[in-house]
Amino acid sequence: MYKNVLVPVSFEEDRDSAGAINVARILAGDGGKVTVLHVMEQIPGYAISYVPENYLVESRQAIEAELSEMASALPNGVAEVIDGHSGRTILDYAEKNGVDCIVIASHRPGMQDLLLGSTATQVVRHAGCAVHVIR
Read off the pLDDT of residues 37-49 as tens digits, 9 standing for 90 and up: 999 998 888 888 8
DSSP at 47: H
Domain spans of the chain? 4-55+66-130
Average pLDDT over the chain, rounded to whole?
89
Q: How far apart are CA 20 and CA 105, in angstroms?
A: 6
Alpha-carbon gap, residue 111 to 56, rounded angstroms: 32
pLDDT at 78 (0 to 100)? 97
Asked if pLDDT for residue 97 goes beyond 90, the answer is yes
Reference 23, options 123, 124, 104; nearest CA is: 104
Record: fold of 4-55+66-130: Rossmann fold (3.40.50)
Sheet hosting strand 130-134, strand order edge to edge: 77-83, 33-40, 4-8, 101-105, 130-134
3-state secondary structure (DSSP) of residue 61: helix
Total-model pTM: 0.90
Rg (alpha carbons) of the chain, rounded to whole number: 15
